[in-house]
Structure 1
Amino acid sequence: INVKIIENDRQRCEDLSVLLPKAIIINGDGTDEELLKEEGIEYAESFVALTGIDEENILLTLHARQVSNAKTITKINRINFKDVISRLDLGSVVYPRYITSEAIIAYVRAKNESGDSNIETLYHLFDHRVEAIEFKVDQESEVTGAPLQALDLKRHLLVAFINRNGKIIIPSGQDTIEKGDTVMVVTTHTGFNDITDILK
């Protein structure tokens, strides 16, 4: 992946060039239409608007969608106009407040754990109607070692993938969860704290 970062602050550009030696760091105004054209916005496969001003991010994304076929990601800080923003053609929208709150929820849930398995990450999807939860399976339990089809799983729940030593398994009914795995569960249920919560 070839990455270009446009940053207005010269010192920040120097810092980024050290932190990200494989990226191209450009010292300039990311809202400058001519600069974006010079840097090939029309041919970009992905465009991420990350200024500190929501209005600029929205306009940049709309511009990128107009002049290219890029997948777009827009950072929005304020959440009070979410309904209006959801009607705009902005691609993926990232709300830093939600990311922060989800990290806190995952941390608190992991701290309240029994110790068998821990929440690694937690994401809310579809306006908080669905949770995607990544569990680290630290110990054997009633969910380990048995084929998924033999487990009495809750309804409205999907075991999305199993990460076993870096190999991603899209599970079938014959696959098993083993100690040491990382498991991603997608569900409409809330309040899961442990991998065993997938059982009825």
Structure 2
Amino acid sequence: MKVIICGAGQVGWQIARHLSGERNDVVVVDNNPDLVRRATDSLDVQGIAGFASYPDVLEKAGARDADMIIAATYSDEVNMVTCQVAHSIFNIPRKIARLRAQSYLTAIYSDLYRRDHMPIDVVISPEKEVAEAALQRLAASSAFDSERFLGGKAQLLGLTIDADCPIVNTPLRQLSDLFSTLRSVVVGIRRDGTLFAPEPGDQLFVGDACYIMVHAEDIPRTMEIFGKAQRKQERVVVIGGGNVGLAVAKALEKSTERIRAKVIERDRKRAEVAADALERTIVLHGDGLDTGLLREAGIERADAVLCVTDDDKTNMLAAVRAKAEGCPMAIALVNDPTMVPLMEPLGVDAYINPRATTVSSILRHIRHGRVRSVYSIGDAEAEVIEAEVLSTSSLSGKTIREIDFPEGVLMGAVMKQGEVIKIKGTTRIEENDRIVLFAMAKDVPEVERLLQVSIDFF
């Protein structure tokens, strides 16, 4: 597949890394020659320096025979015009654009993206994706990572194994015997900084960060088995009133859980915009690192603090300060994956990686087979892929035991006729089943081959 990626920033670079690693023909376009050089030096991609929306630049990038264009520059308008040029001049079949401005995303204006107007097949909103991720972290208060699958009927939880975890040093195969009705599978373990897919004989040790795929109804029991207490979130302080903070605060206002939120924003104009847009939420103007302001926001009585400014260091320091003032749970927005190992020593409970959430949402639309959802773990180290099994897939008609999965791939969940079932080696995968697979990055191409369809390519 030939793909043109417009924008060689963090998101564009990650998408290029994914796709070039899977032997696609990738061309990266950016008006910053240094970013293009970084991509071509470190990845197996071609690079073109120039403005992505210019027809002659797209022509140089090989737009005439491209299968897909992904417009992920920092400008909404450039992304939109790029898709228009890709359609009108080069007739590129699939066009994905990243758009930030809320006005472009309002549902009542969705006709704008019709094929005869502004032909964009998929619109990705980073702020919307990140706000959704933040709400999921709040809902799973003891998890450092969380994502829903199978229409919300299954959930991926990232849990850190503490000394008081009842199943420390227990081989994973014994968990099935000890908890025979529990619908949960440990699909990934990070130990000493290395992520791997566990085998049945592997044990969980103190300090491990493990990823577990759980039936939604079994989440409370799974938390209990892994020694985690579920805390109810009734008071939340949001530090940062930009697009992400505002989206989270609006969602909390609409929540049926009656969550009370306060927003702290240091930029006066942005604080005023947030105050006008919110009905029940109190907006405080000032620095989220100011202890006096945190106390005014009632940080010691809050159940959680959500630090979502546009600066990683501010988010981490604000999270640490809120914890020091007595807030039991701190979630920080962190763009730089190299800062994630600092989370635990600093006492930050959970993090949101905007790059990973945006990359996940784009990958969802470019995977082969009938892929419903993709979630990228860590620094693109692994993926959790939800897909529908078609009759042309080599999985169809085989039991899980008979499927020749690569070493780094595990079956996390199976849904048959709308019901998520407990996985056994004898479980037969059939046409129209929906499955969730955990796959290390190097094994994703093989998973795609297993899911491959003969006619319905996308």
TM-score (norm 2): 0.34
Sort the Cα spacing of 1:52 and 1:157 in 2 relative to 1 into closer, same or farther, 3 A. same
Sort the Cα spacing of 1:195 and 1:49 in 2 relative to 1 into closer, same or farther, 3 A. farther
Instruction: Describe how 1:1-200 pairs up with structure 2 within 5 A.
Output: 1=257, 2=259, 4-8=261-265, 9-17=271-279, 24-29=280-285, 31=288, 32-66=290-324, 67-70=326-329, 72-77=330-335, 79=336, 82-84=337-339, 86-88=341-343, 89=346, 90-108=348-366, 110=367, 113=368, 116-125=369-378, 127-135=379-387, 137=388, 139-140=390-391, 141-164=393-416, 167-188=419-440, 189-191=443-445, 194=448, 196-197=450-451
CA distance in 1, matches of 2:264, 2:417: 37
Sort the Cα spacing of 1:5 and 1:68 in 2 relative to 1 into closer, same or farther, 3 A. closer
Q: Give the residue type in structure 1 aligned to 2:377.
A: H
Q: Report sequence identity in percent.
A: 19
Sort the Cα spacing of 1:153 and 1:55 in 2 relative to 1 into closer, same or farther, 3 A. closer
CA deviations on 1:106-139 (whole Å, 9 max, x unpaired) are: 323x3xx3xx4225223133x333222222x162
CA distance in 1, matches of 2:294, 2:358: 30
**Rg larger for:** 2
CA distance in 1, matches of 2:276, 2:339: 37
Give the CA deviation at 1:57.
0.9
User: Could you say what secondary structure the match of 1:28 adopts?
Assistant: strand
Give the CA deviation at 1:50.
0.6
Give the CA deviation at 1:43.
4.4
Tell me if structure 1 keeps the 8 A contact 2:384–2:438.
yes
Tell me if structure 1 keeps the 8 A contact 2:394–2:451.
no
User: Could you say what secondary structure the match of 1:103 adopts?
Assistant: helix
User: Could you say what secondary structure the match of 1:51 adopts?
Assistant: coil
CA distance in 2, matches of 1:133, 1:84: 26
- Structure 2: stretches of 5+ with no match in the other structure: 1-256, 266-270, 453-458
CA distance in 1, matches of 2:277, 2:417: 34
Q: Give the residue type in structure 1 aligned to 2:445.
A: G
Greater helix share, 1 or 2? 2
Q: Which has the higher contact order (CA 8 A, sep 6+)?
A: 1
Give the CA deviation at 1:186.
0.9
CA distance in 2, matches of 1:34, 1:167: 51
Q: Give the residue type in structure 1 aligned to 2:342.
A: R
Tell me if structure 1 keeps the 8 A contact 2:406–2:446.
no
Give the CA deviation at 1:61.
0.9
CA distance in 2, matches of 1:41, 1:7: 11
CA deviations on 1:142-200 (whole Å, 9 max, x unpaired) are: 323433223232222111122456644342223343444432211222335637259xx
Give the CA deviation at 1:58.
1.3
Sort the Cα spacing of 1:10 and 1:171 in 2 relative to 1 into closer, same or farther, 3 A. farther
Sort the Cα spacing of 1:184 and 1:65 in 2 relative to 1 into closer, same or farther, 3 A. farther
Tell me if structure 1 keeps the 8 A contact 2:386–2:436.
yes
Tell me if structure 1 keeps the 8 A contact 2:316–2:332.
yes
Sort the Cα spacing of 1:142 and 1:193 in 2 relative to 1 into closer, same or farther, 3 A. closer
CA distance in 2, matches of 1:138, 1:3: 42
User: Could you say what secondary structure the match of 1:41 adopts?
Assistant: coil
Sort the Cα spacing of 1:123 and 1:192 in 2 relative to 1 into closer, same or farther, 3 A. farther
TM-score (norm 1): 0.70
CA distance in 2, matches of 1:63, 1:133: 37
Tell me if structure 2 keeps the 8 A contact 1:7–1:13.
no
Number of aligned positions between the proteins: 181
Q: Give the residue type in structure 2 aligned to 1:25.
A: T
CA distance in 1, matches of 2:397, 2:424: 14
CA RMSD of aligned residues (A): 3.2
